[in-house]
Chain A
């Protein structure tokens, strides 16, 4: 029961803690930001199976440089937003909910399972959609399969350690 309690708490948090602004204007902005992200994923080549292989074989620093500078850039902005107590453009408070650690099993095990899939498909979820846009249409099958994987997790969830 204890394991289920932990997962139920994190489930509630995942769904309830972050209630984003979803006015029409904001929704248009999310769509446009998504498009910008798709362009960046393509032009940076992080969506390429070849680049992912290069990374996991430690044969080029490129992916590590991109990931590290992305984290650093995001960290500076997040720190700044917190320090200044910035709000959204509509004046709503900004809060990043902390992730529940629980036993940590979900992060270690779930992370490893995703990592296996990342190296096989050569794509994490964002690139799957960007690759579709780039004309690698077979990734539609990978997306349907990923939906099936997510659904399978939902079904097995009560029985998995978290």
Chain B
């Protein structure tokens, strides 16, 4: 293997490789079996499989419509594991301005994929860790179910099919993200 190929496989991929590749999952899933690229539906299917209760929203045959999606998500987990192991430890090199802003918020460890001081099991029992992981996760699950899709289903699949509901949803994604970044995080961290 040439050095350039090795660097390409190991290092972070440039945007013009990553972006078009992400877009490819839409036609790939359609061509395999008319499956619509999206991840958040898998959360609904898992609820339907594990704790349907008497809730109408979860009373359907999850295997018939959702087994594929659950397997896709299992694959995503395995893919993350594979990539982590062939690439070795990954440090994300972010913009100097972001580093500066985050330092002012009290983040000092920039190694890894997420701040280690906040995203670990013992931090879950602090206010910061609880809000970032538990409250954040709850909002992700509630919001994607309410909106009927997440970044993959609305921003990629929906916008690629020029659907107006998806455009409204994506504007919402950014409104919420900006709100949390510029108002919630400075209060929390």
- The residues of A with any CB-CB pair to B shorter than 8 Å are 10-11, 14-16, 18-23, 26-27, 29-57, 59-60, 62, 65-78, 80-81, 86, 88-90, 92-101, 104, 106-126, 128-139, 141-155, 157-158, 160
State A19–B55 Cα separation when bound (angstroms). Answer: 22
Q: Which residues of chain A are within 8 angstroms of B127 by Cβ–Cβ distance? A: none
B94: contacting residue among A42, A51, A67, CB under 8 A: A51
Q: Which residues of chain A are within 8 angstroms of B87 by Cβ–Cβ distance? A: 42-43
| Most chain A CB inside 10 Å of its own CB: which residue of B80, B154, B174 | B80
* Distance of A115 from chain B, by nearest CB (Å): 2
Measured as residues with beta carbon below 8 angstroms from the partner, the interface class of chain B is 35 or more
Q: Which residues of chain A are within 8 angstroms of B180 by Cβ–Cβ distance? A: 56, 115-120
* Distance of B129 from chain A, by nearest CB (Å): 8
List the A residue with the shortest CB-CB distance to B149: A99
17 contacts between A and B (CB under 8 A): A35-B75, A38-B80, A43-B87, A45-B12, A57-B101, A59-B95, A72-B23, A73-B19, A92-B34, A108-B168, A116-B136, A120-B185, A138-B121, A147-B47, A149-B139, A152-B141, A157-B56
List the A residue with the shortest CB-CB distance to B178: A56
What per-residue 1/0 map shows which CB atoms of B81-117 lie under 8 Å from chain A? 1111001001010110110011000000010111100
Contact B15 A37 (CB under 8 A): no
Q: Which residues of chain A are within 8 angstroms of B110 by Cβ–Cβ distance? A: 50
What per-residue 1/0 map shows which CB atoms of B13-30 lie under 8 Å from chain A? 101111111111111111
* Distance of B170 from chain A, by nearest CB (Å): 7
Contact B31 A88 (CB under 8 A): yes
State A34–B38 Cα separation when bound (angstroms). Answer: 11
Contact B141 A145 (CB under 8 A): yes
Q: Which residues of chain A are within 8 angstroms of B175 by Cβ–Cβ distance? A: 111-112, 115
- The residues of B with any CB-CB pair to A shorter than 8 Å are 12-13, 15-37, 39-44, 46-47, 50-51, 55-58, 60, 64-65, 67-69, 71-84, 87, 90, 92, 94-95, 97-98, 101-102, 110, 112-115, 119-121, 123-124, 131-152, 154-166, 168-182, 184-185
Contact A121 B136 (CB under 8 A): yes
Q: Which residues of chain A are within 8 angstroms of B29 by Cβ–Cβ distance? A: 30, 33
Contact B142 A39 (CB under 8 A): no
| Most chain A CB inside 10 Å of its own CB: which residue of B32, B56, B163 | B32
Q: A120-B180, A149-B145, A153-B141 are in contact. List 14 more A-B contacts (CB 8 A).
A: A18-B65, A30-B68, A35-B82, A46-B22, A69-B16, A75-B23, A111-B154, A111-B172, A112-B143, A112-B179, A113-B139, A114-B147, A128-B137, A129-B77
Contact B155 A131 (CB under 8 A): no
State A141–B46 Cα separation when bound (angstroms). Answer: 15
A153: contacting residue among B28, B145, B162, CB under 8 A: B145
Q: A19-B65, A101-B164, A120-B180 are in contact. Are A141 and B32 (CB under 8 A)?
A: no
B143: contacting residue among A31, A117, A144, CB under 8 A: A117
| Most chain A CB inside 10 Å of its own CB: which residue of B23, B28, B36 | B23
State A32–B80 Cα separation when bound (angstroms). Answer: 12
State A35–B61 Cα separation when bound (angstroms). Answer: 25
B43: contacting residue among A41, A50, A150, CB under 8 A: A150
Q: A118-B173, A138-B133 are in contact. Are A94 and B31 (CB under 8 A)?
A: yes
Q: A69-B16, A119-B181 are in contact. Are A18 and B145 (CB under 8 A)?
A: no
